[in-house]
Structure formats: structure tokens, C-alpha cells
Chain A
């Protein structure tokens, strides 16, 4: 009879420890739709950076009377900012991939 009870009790102890430990970790965060948010971010952020660069350059051109040079420079900088953002998102994604594996 005691031979049946001993392993059952140990199993209970394991389960209690498991349940007790789970409440400290964040189960929700691992399930949140993070990957999808990344893909949404990339395209818009590149276009937005390009747009902000273009508009900024155009405004500065208006102030300094340097049409169209600052517009061209800032379009280039905007594109660079967009690509840099994409590059950062990609490295971040890879880092998280490595961490999860």
C-alpha cells in the first residue's frame, strides 16, 4: 500500500512546484502576436521615413531658397533612415530568434 502512495505523493509535489513556478513567468507575452506586428511596421516605416525626408527637405529648401538640392539630400537621408530601420528590425528579429531557439 505504501508502495502506491510514495510515487503518487512525489508526482503531486512535482505538479505543485510546476504550477507554483508558472505564475512567476509571463505566459501571455510569449503568445502575443509579435512577429506580425514586425511585418506591419517595416513597410510603413520605410515609406514614412522617405516621406518625412522629402517633406523636410522641401521645407528647408523653401526657407533657404536652395531648390531642389536639400529635397534631394533629404530624400536620400530618408531612404537611408528607412533602410536603417529595416536593418535594425531584422537584426532584432534574428536576435530574438536565436534567443528562442
Chain B
């Protein structure tokens, strides 16, 4: 199994501890191990860095405060003051994705967010959550989200299905974007790593390329987590305020 040497091997799920509850497979996999690592590292980072509660923050405390400030301002700017109660969830989402992406960049580790099922689970929670919030707050008026304002009634039969499709495509684009970005970068690095071995001395060229991609991947790891948070905020804003552009 390990002898296949496909660039996609790194995404394989390995059951470290086989577990079943009834018919349900709850095995502890390498993915689950990384999830636990994400929780531990993120919590340690955000608590130990703030341990000093310094007035003038050090490097680690600044980074923790920066994460907080980034998500807080994203929620404030995109959702408004009534987005405050959803801030802990959006912050957790951002941190979970950020650390999943970042820890996945460590060689021989595993990228949780390269699996569409994981990103789709996030996207589905956001999608279902914002839809429920929208209906809960506006009742049936929430359906006006699918009727763009200032459009002649004759065009409605055409535009309403288009709006519904674009609404339904939100979780798809949200999850596919994240998983595809994570997968593409990692696969590319693996492919070029194969070239390095194949080309011997001339392998310096792909090696330089790998370093460049790696740097890019670090930025993308952050940006994708940020994009996920921003879009979550935008969808939440739609649910809370309907059309308010």
C-alpha cells in the first residue's frame, strides 16, 4: 500500500485505532489525530500567548490579538452589531480551519481540510445555520431573498430559480474552494518533490519551485481560512438583514 507513491497518498485516511459503536464506524484516524492536534495547538497558542495579559503585547500575544481583531472586525464590518453573538462560532471556525491548513503544511502531517467531507460539513453547518436563522428571524419574509428587489414580475419565473440555484451553490462553492485549494497545493508540492528525486542534480530547479509554492501555500492557508470566515459573515448578514445593499 505504501509502495504506490501516488501524490495523492498523503490524503489517505488511516485508522489508527479501530472503534465501532454499534454499526457506526468511529475509528480514530490520522485525520482525527490532526483534529485533536489542531484543538490542542490552537488552544495552547491562544491561551499561553495571553497568559501575561500584557498591556504592551509581545510577539505571540500580538499574533493572538491580531487573530481576534481580524475576525472581530470582519464580523463587525460584514454583519454589524447583531453579529456579536455569532462571533465565538465564527472565530472557532476561522481558527479551526486556519490551524488545519497550517499544520497540514508540516511535512509528513495530514491536512484535514483537504477532504471535501470535512469542508462540506463546515459549509453545511454554515448553510443550514444561516437558513434557520433567516427563517427564525424573518419567518416567510426570508423567501424575499430569492426575489431581487426592483425586478419586473414577469422576469420572476426566470430569476427566482437562478437565485435559488445561487443560494444552494453557496455551501458547494464554500467547501469545494477550501478543499480544492488545500489539495491542489499539497499535490503540486508532492509532484515536484517527485521530480526532485527523479532529476538528481538538475532537481535543484523543482526544489526552488517547491520553496516558492510552499511560501505561497502558507499565504493561501491563511487566506482560505479568512475567506471562509468572510463568506460565513456575508451569508449571516443576508440571513439577518435580507437585502440591505
Contact = CB atoms under 8 A, between A and B. Distances in A.
Interface of A: 26, 28-29, 32-34, 36-37, 40-41, 44-45, 47-49, 51-53, 56, 74, 77-78, 80-82, 84-85, 92
Interface in B154-201: 158, 161-163, 165-166, 168-170, 172-173, 176-177, 180
B8 interface: no
Interface stretch (B26-34, B55-63, B67-75, B136-144): B67-75
Interface of B: 69-70, 73-74, 76-77, 158, 161-163, 165-166, 168-170, 172-173, 176-177, 180, 223-224, 226-227, 230-231, 245
Nearest to A76: B162
Given A47-B173, A48-B172, A81-B166, A37 B70 contact: no
B227 A56 contact: no
- The interface residues of chain B, by DSSP majority, are classed as helix
Nearest to B163: A81
A29 B169 contact: no
B165 A37 contact: no
A84 B77 CA distance: 24
B162 A52 contact: no
